[in-house]
Amino acid sequence: MTEKLLEVRDLKVHFNTQDGVVKAVDGVSFSVDRGETFGIVGESGSGKSVTNLTAMGLINKKNATISGQVLFKGRDLLELGGDDLRQVRGKEMSMIFQDPFACLHPFYRVGDQIVEAILAHDDVPKEQAKKRTLDLLRAVGIPQPEERFRDYPHQYSGGMRQRAMIAMALVHNPDLLIADEPTTALDVTVQAQILDLIDRVKTEFNIGVILITHDLGVISEVAQDVMVMYAGRPMETGTRDQIFNQPLHPYAWGLLESIPRVDQKGTRLLPIAGAPPSLINVPPGCAFHPRCPHRFEPCDKERPEFVDRGGGHPNACHLSPEEKRRLWDERETRRGAKV
């Protein structure tokens, strides 16, 4: 099989601040292929956004120490200079963000902003760019594109704005689309529409999609492979079925159990005690150990390696595969989730 579309190897991004070194990303590896959606799930401070912003070159490199590799179609993006990276950005790799209202410039018409994206990489006559924009607006499901072209962002609804952002991200037929919390700010019915749209785009254009979110439900709907992040580190990576049916990390267990499920009777929620750690003072050993009900001897001393210990997919936890299976089964039974 040829090279992966995107391969991240041991990426580390540390920021030097007045209060200390913020280890925003601390050793992340994963890969994405065309035609698949890779989900990255984590709470605030997990490093999921910084990872992808670094790949896109949107991180201010002045105060950051970056190491590792980000191989996009074989080329290491971290080695590219400003201008070269700018060529890739928006053309071969694009990104859409969480709050589409804040992401569009309030003073310029939406159509013009999309045309600007086209002209940034393609020297074509404005008329042609405008036509392409109208085609894209139609393709993403915005009705009456000619009128909507001339509107300002504040005249669009939330769902329409996100569609416009998606259109803008697709102008150059990128190979990879990164969607950072694309539906968090949207109503649930609109969320369903947008996820549907992203999925269609993925299949029609045969691109790779990275979907970043804190919402496990969204991940379960659209992702084929999932990585769970915590405190800048990967905790577990596997296929969707593996993560949801047979998770191998106590953090993943905690997450799954603390979400009230729509399709289940209200059992008492089992939250994870404590709060996510500061990224300046990451707990020694396993970053999750202070909140982990199953911690034991090595957890506060040795940082667990992110490997497949025989459970079927890689994870960063010292517990043995048998222990993990047992504990997970216990939890499921206790919740009454197991039949």
Partner 1 sequence: MGRYVIRRLLFSLLVILIITLLTFVIFYVMPPTDPARAFAGKQPTPEILAEVRDQFGLDEPLFKQYGRFVHNIFLGDEFGWPGLGFSFDSRSAVKDELFKRASVTLQLAIGAALLWVVLGVSIGIISALNRGRLGDRAAMGFALFGVSTPVFFLGYIGLFIFWQTLDVLPGTGYTAFGEDPGQWFLHMIMPWAALALLYSAFYARMVRGNLLETMSEDYIRTARAKGLSERKVVFKHGLRASLTPVVTMFGLDFSTLLGGAVITETVFNLSGLGSYAVTAVLGGDLPVIMGLVVLASLAVTLMTLVVDVLYAYLDPRVRLA
Partner 2 sequence: MTETLEPVAPVTDARDALVSVQNLTKYFPITRGIIFRREVARVHAVEDVTLSVKAGETLGLVGESGCGKSTTARLIMRLLDPTSGKIYFEGEEISHFDRKKMRPLRRKMQIIFQDPYSSLNPRQTVGQIIGSPFTIHKTEGDTKDRVQGLMDRVGLNPEHYNRYPHEFSGGQRQRIGVARALALQPKLIVCDEPVSALDVSIQAQILNLLTDLQDEFKLTYIFISHDLGVVRHISDRIAVMYLGRVVELAQADELYLDPKHPYTAALLSAVPKGHAAPAGVKRTVLTGDVPSPVDPPSGCVFHPRCPKAREVAGAGNEIPENCRSEIPPLADVRAGHQAACWYPLSRGEELQESAHI
Distance CA 82, CA 329 (A): 50
Query: Using only C-alpha atoms, what is the Rg of the chain?
Result: 21
Given partner 2, partner 1, none, residue 245, with its beta carbon under 5 to 8 Å by kind, binds partner 2
Q: Nearer to partner 2 by C-beta: 160 or 164?
A: 160
How many residues form the binding site for partner 1 (CB under 8 A)?
27
**Dihedral-angle region of residue 134 (phi above 0 means left; psi in -120 to 50 means alpha; beta otherwise):** alpha
Residue list 63-82, contact with partner 1 (CB under 8 A)? 82
Closest distance of CB 338 from partner 2, Å: 9
Residues ≥6 apart with Cβ < 8 Å to 176? 5, 6, 32, 72, 92, 93, 94, 207, 208, 209, 210
CB of residue 11 vs partner 2: minimum separation in angstroms? 23
- The burial of 283, by beta-carbon neighbours within 10 Å (0-12 exposed, 13-18 middle, 19 or more buried), is given as middle
95-124: contacts with partner 1 (CB under 8 A): 95, 97, 99, 102-107, 116-117, 120-121
Name the 3-class secondary structure at 138.
helix
Please count the other Cβ atoms lying within 10 Å of the Cβ belonging to residue 153: 21
Min CB(224)–partner 2 separation in Å: 12
Residues 6+ apart with CB under 8 A from 10: 27, 28, 29, 67, 68, 69
266 binds, among partner 1, partner 2, none (CB under 5 to 8 A by kind): partner 2
Residues in region 225-244 near partner 1 by CB under 8 A: none
Site string for partner 1, 138-177 (x = CB under 8 A): --------------x-x----------x--x---------
Residue 254 site contact among partner 2, partner 1, none (CB < 5 to 8 Å, cut-off depends on kind): partner 2
Nearer to partner 2, 13 or 222 (CB): 222
Q: Which does 4 bind (CB under 5 to 8 A by kind): partner 1, partner 2, none?
A: none
Q: x-or-dash pattern for partner 1, window 21-60, by CB under 8 A? A: -----------------------------------x-x--
Kind and range of the H or E element at 41? strand 37-41
86: contact with partner 1 by CB under 8 A:
yes
Q: Which long-range contacts (CB under 8 A, 24 or more apart) does 142-149 make?
A: 142/167, 148/110, 148/111, 149/109, 149/110, 149/111
* Residue 192 contact among partner 2, partner 1, none, beta carbon within 5 to 8 Å by kind: partner 2
Alpha-carbon distance 127 to 132, whole Å?
Answer: 9
332 binds partner 1 (CB under 8 A): no
**Interface ranges with partner 2 (CB under 8 A):** 43-44, 141, 157-160, 187-193, 196-197, 214-218, 220-221, 240-241, 244-245, 254-256, 258-263, 265-266, 268-273, 275-276, 339
Q: In this structure, what token pair is assigned to residue 305?
A: 């390696």
**What is the distance between the alpha carbons of residues 263 and 244, in angstroms, rounded to a whole number?**
15
Alpha carbon distance, N-terminus to C-terminus of the chain: 41
- Residue given tokens 């990104």 in the structure block: 95
| Amino acid, single-letter form, for residue 278 | S
Minimum Å gap between C-beta 156 and partner 1 is 12
State the binding partner of 269 from partner 1, partner 2, none, CB within 5 to 8 A by kind: partner 2
**Binding footprint of partner 1 on the chain (CB under 8 A):** 56, 58, 82, 86-91, 94-95, 97, 99, 102-107, 116-117, 120-121, 152, 154, 165, 168
